[in-house]
Amino acid sequence: MSKKLTERDFDYIHLRNGRRLLLTNPDPKLMDIEIIAHSLANLCRFCGQVDKFYSVAQHSVLVSQLVPEKHALAGLLHDAPEAFCGDLPKPIKQQCSGYETIENALWKALAKRYGLPKKLPKSVHYADIQALLVEAKTLLAGNDYKTWYPEVELCDEVIIPLKPNEAKKLFLDRYEELTVDDIEIDEEELLLLEQVLKDKDYA
């Protein structure tokens, strides 16, 4: 005879590195880009209702390519909260009032970690819809995508679905491309510090 289960309240997500991310008070330091890329690369768009697996990670890269360069990092990470709370289809999101609260808390933490605006730029929202429409055109059979957002200009991007490991690499490569200037500045500062220490016989 099986024992009666006791209901439990869980307020954290168990990460693949063994850490716990509190959804009520997410710690930006736990939101590593590799953790984000891995999760998004394994999340399928359109609730999995596609003939070929197509990840949120690949979608995010596409959005980052459709926005102005100054908003590209925000475009790449616009769905990063889903790495910790999942990718719910819009009709379900609209019925889950608590989901938006969690999503907003996650975005606030991500914005702090990666130096992003507290609110997504309008260009990212627009590009997100552009990506949605071209993805639906390519991946969803028998849909009426042209009627979803008739005011949005359709883009001519070609969608070639990638495997999770390929999408993860694409995502990380795009992140490195967008943050390379920051990395170079850090390296220059490190070299300068090493020279100063050497001059003072500390090195």
The pLDDT tens digits for 159-181 are: 999 999 999 999 999 999 999 87
63 belongs to a structural domain: yes
Query: Rounded distance, CA 31 to CA 54, Å?
Result: 23
Give the residue among 120, 121, 152, 122 at the shortest CA–CA distance from 137.
152
The pLDDT tens digits for 78-104 are: 999 999 999 888 888 888 888 889 999
pLDDT given for residue 18 in this prediction: 94
138 belongs to a structural domain: yes
* pLDDT beyond 70 at 197: no
pLDDT given for residue 122 in this prediction: 97
Proportion of the chain above pLDDT 90, given as a percent: 70
CATH code of 168's domain: 1.10.3210.10
- Taking each helix axis as running N to C, give the angle between helix 56-66 and helix 164-199, from 0 to 180 degrees, rounded to the nearest 10: 60
Q: Which of 8-22, 124-138, 150-164, 167-181 has the lowest mean pLDDT?
A: 8-22
In the chain, where do the E strands start and end? 12-14, 20-22
Query: Rounded distance, CA 70 to CA 93, Å?
Result: 29
Cβ-Cβ contacts under 8 Å for 105 (sequence gap 6 or more): 23, 24, 25, 26
The residue written with tokens 């197509």 in the block is 54
pLDDT given for residue 111 in this prediction: 97
6 belongs to a structural domain: no
Total domains, the chain = 1
The neighbour count for residue 6, using CB atoms within 10 Å, is 5
Proportion of the chain above pLDDT 70, given as a percent: 86
75 belongs to a structural domain: yes
The residue written with tokens 């869980």 in the block is 10
The tokens for 120 are 């997504």
142 belongs to a structural domain: yes
7 belongs to a structural domain: no
Q: Which domain holds residue 31?
A: 12-199
Amino acid at 123: S
Task: Please answer whether residues 78 and 120 qualify as being in contact, where contact means their C-beta atoms are separated by less than 8 angstroms.
Answer: yes
pLDDT given for residue 142 in this prediction: 83
Q: What predicted TM-score, i.e. pTM, was given to this entire model? A: 0.85
Query: Rounded distance, CA 31 to CA 203, Å?
Result: 34
